[in-house]
Amino acid sequence: MKALAKTKKEPGIWMIDAPEPEYGHNDLLIKIKITAICGTDVHIYNWDAWSQKTVPVPMITGHEFVGTVIGIGDEVAAIFDPFGNAVHTALSFNTVGEDVLITGAGPIGIMAAAVVKHAGARYVIITDVNDYRLNLARQMGATRAGNIKNDNLEEIMGELHMLEGFDIGMEMSGNPSAQNQLFHCMNNGGRVAMLGIPPGETQVNWNDIIFKGLLLKGIYGREMFETWYKMAAMIRSGLDITRIITHRLPIDEFEKGFEIMASGQSGKVLLYWE
């Protein structure tokens, strides 16, 4: 079968011919129909410092997918629908009535904006450097989407009469200066979810964290299964996330998919395997 794999310790991802996987008594065998390119896949493609440390080579990559179950292990009792990190992060703090700052309007940041708004946040402000993505974030429910190159976050807060800073912060860019801006704009006692993967070690202004008594939560992957149920309930109650998908390509055009992701002129890029 076809598979996209990291086969060399250098930038790139390659289509290989792989054996069909075996599955164990607690596993499902899933025939993949569609995969999505994650920001993390782009890190792996680029072979940056983080992926050099984390990703074993060779490895078949990818973790966002839709498919059909074609094999069920004999101890499997139930099957759940998976939902992504954005949801998990967005729901890891109660956001009802809260003012939320999200740094980074990649697919994850935009999804988080849509989810926290739907979950009852008061203001959801999102920042990025990319106007295409900021527009998408506005369409998906962000109260304000600011380009940090031209817009002043403190001015936006002033326009909304936010005098004390954000209650909830979600770092979804991995950019060190965005991290510090986020800490700087938090209210006393604010809660911050850290999801964006920085390129390496970064400098943090600890005074913002210490003197405001901020609570930081690192996020990796998701919590099974609570946030999945919550997300299913949100979809049933009208949360529309379809606009986040901006490109659909056949799998043989995966290189183009990665180019589109790297250009930043995209939301989620889907690759079709059949």
The string of DSSP letters for the chain reads: -EEEEE-SSSS--EEEE-PPPP--TT-EEEEEEEEE--HHHHHHHHT-HHHHHH--SSEE----EEEEEEEE-TT---------HHHHHHTSS--TT--EEEE--SHHHHHHHHHHHHTT-S-EEEEES-HHHHHHHHHTT-SEEEETTT--HHHHHHHTT--S-EEEEEE-S--HHHHHHHHHTEEEEEEEEE-S--SS-----HHHHHHTT-EEEE--S--TTHHHHHHHHHHHTT---GGGEEEEEEGGGHHHHHHHHHHT--SEEEEE--
Closest residue (Cβ) to Zn ion? Answer: 38
The interface mask with Zn ion, positions 30-59, x = CB under 5 A, is --------x---------------------
Q: CA 74, CA 239: separation in Å to the nearest integer?
A: 35
When the beta carbons of 144 and 222 are compared against Zn ion, the nearer one is 222
Query: Residue 134's binding partner, choosing from ligand NAD, Zn ion, none, with beta-carbon cut-off 5 to 8 A by kind?
Result: none
Q: Is 247 a catalytic residue?
A: no
> Minimum distance between the CB of residue 215 and ligand NAD, rounded to whole angstroms?
17
38 lies in the site for ligand NAD, by CB under 6 A: yes
Q: Please say if 43 is a catalytic residue.
A: yes
Q: Which is nearer to Zn ion, 108 or 178 (CB)?
A: 108
Catalytic one of 7, 25, 40, 89: 40
Check residue 211 for interaction with ligand NAD (CB under 6 A): no
Nearer to Zn ion, 36 or 116 (CB): 36
Name the minimum Å distance from CB 190 to Zn ion.
26
Between 199 and 213, whose beta carbon lies closer to ligand NAD?
199
Other CB atoms within a 10 A radius of the CB of residue 9 amount to: 11
- Per annotation, catalytic residue among 7, 35, 43, 246: 43
- Among the candidate windows 51-59, 125-133, 224-232, 234-242, which touches ligand NAD by CB under 6 A? 125-133
- Of the candidate residues 90, 125, 136, 172, the single one contacting ligand NAD (CB under 6 A): 172
State the binding partner of 127 from ligand NAD, Zn ion, none, CB within 5 to 8 A by kind: ligand NAD
**Hey, how many other C-beta atoms are within 10 angstroms of the C-beta on 4?**
23
Burial of 149 (0-12, 13-18, 19+ CB in 10 A): exposed
Residue 70 Cβ, how far from ligand NAD at the closest point, in Å?
27
Residues at the site binding Zn ion, with contacts judged by CB under 5 A? 38, 64
Q: Which residues are catalytic?
A: 40, 43
**Site residues for ligand NAD per CB under 6 A:** 38-40, 43, 85, 103-109, 127-130, 133, 148, 172-175, 177-178, 195-197, 219-221, 264
